[in-house]
Copies of this chain bind each other. A is one copy, B any other.
Amino acid sequence: MRGLLAVVWKNSLRKKPPLRTRFLHTLKDRQCSQILMSPPLVSVDLPDIWTPNSSSFGGSSIVKTFDEQTTVVLDGKMISTEIRSRIASEVRRMKKCIGKVPGLAVIVVGQRRDSQIYVRNKITACEEAGIKSFVTELPTDCTEAEVQNALLRFNKDPSIHGILVQLPLPQHLDEGKVLDVLCLEKDVDGFHPLNMGNLAIRGKAPLFIPCTPKGCIELLIRSGVEIMGKKAVVIGRSNIVGLPTSLLLQRHHATVTVVHAFTDNPEQITSEADILVSAAGVPNMVRDNWIKPGAVVIDVGTSPVEDPSCEDGYRLIGDVCYEEAVKVASLITPVPGGVGPMTVAMLLSNTLDSAKRILDFT
């Protein structure tokens, strides 16, 4: 694990509350045969037993050791490479056993440069993992019916086990109406309302957990961050990141607050968070005074900024002012190379899970 983390030495010896924990070895041992370390959601559901006579309400102990001199920079690229390699090996096993491989279909509408690049990355990742991929490109001015028809064709195609519509769609298209026709069993992005409801409801399990939130939790678990009993703050309440991330953190027993554009003095709230997940899409919004010393900071923001020196003509900027945050946080994800690669790995993981379920392969 150490090899997966870049360690930044701090000059400051500022007092930080203990937070990051070492690996839970029992968990590691139990799950070493799995591709992901995140346990199934229903298995993490625990009964709420209130103990009202104490000021502390049960839950796990918060006191953990933490090395004050280091900030861990999580290398999402390396972790995702490891996960993708395990997925590739599982795909080979599937091909060998039943002669079939998972298939992912992507529908992309218009010429948004960021969407084009995201789709290209997903397709490349599929190819590397042995997952068959299919892309339907539609013009910006296409109709809702055209997108729906493309979806319906993929719904029926037995060689396709996962379908995603690259968002955002052009403004004249109603995302909800488009996604409503997507076959629930192939909704590898997990955006269907039924999936979201089952993510929210304890005792239920969605068929798919949305990729970015799933990647965030996987990063936390792989880094030995204990979620249960922690104060978690999610910045942003988008349907595709903020909302499902908050629901997922709550399923893992964090005390979750969602901060959004109507929140007054958000930094007062975020600076009390043990785990801070930022998904606002506002470059460098999260400054050092937004962060509790020793907090775990997951930066989901990826705002493209023009930069001719970069291969694609632009570079991605996170929500978190990295230079400041790295001096305060105990663990941080960089942008790029943090959550982004994990999103792609989780998409492959969901597609593999879907193919296994549909093909009844274990």
Q: Which residues of A contact B (CB under 8 A)?
A: 46, 48-52, 55-60, 62, 175-176, 192-198, 200-204, 228-229, 231, 236-239, 243, 247, 250, 253, 255-267, 269, 280-282, 284-285
Contacts and interface: CB of A to CB of B under 8 A. Distances in A.
Contact of A266 (B57, B176, B285): B57
B204 A176 contact: yes
A193 B197 contact: yes
Contact of A262 (B52, B55, B60, B261): B60
Contact of A261 (B58, B260, B263): B58
Contacts of A228: 262
Contacts of A60: 262
Contact of A264 (B57, B196, B237): B57
Contact of A198 (B56, B197, B255): B197
24 contacts: A48-B237, A48-B262, A52-B280, A52-B285, A55-B265, A56-B265, A57-B261, A57-B263, A59-B263, A176-B204, A193-B200, A193-B201, A193-B204, A194-B197, A200-B243, A202-B237, A202-B239, A231-B269, A250-B258, A250-B260, A255-B257, A255-B263, A255-B264, A257-B257
Contact of A50 (B52, B204, B261): B261
A142 to B, nearest CB: 21
A213 to B, nearest CB: 13
Which DSSP category, helix, strand, loop or mixed, fits chain A's interface? loop
A239 B201 contact: yes
Contacts of A231: 269
A238 B51 CA distance: 16
Contact of A200 (B176, B197, B261, B264): B197
Contacts of A265: 55-57
Contacts of A192: 197
A41 to B, nearest CB: 13
A97 to B, nearest CB: 32
Contacts of A256: 257-258
A21 to B, nearest CB: 16
Given A239-B201, A285-B52, A262 B58 contact: yes
B267 A260 contact: no
B264 A253 contact: no
A272 to B, nearest CB: 9
A155 to B, nearest CB: 18
A173 to B, nearest CB: 13
A237 B50 CA distance: 12
A202 B175 CA distance: 12
Contacts of A263: 57, 59, 229, 255
The 6 closest A-B pairs by CB, nearest first: A197-B197, A193-B197, A59-B262, A48-B261, A196-B197, A257-B257
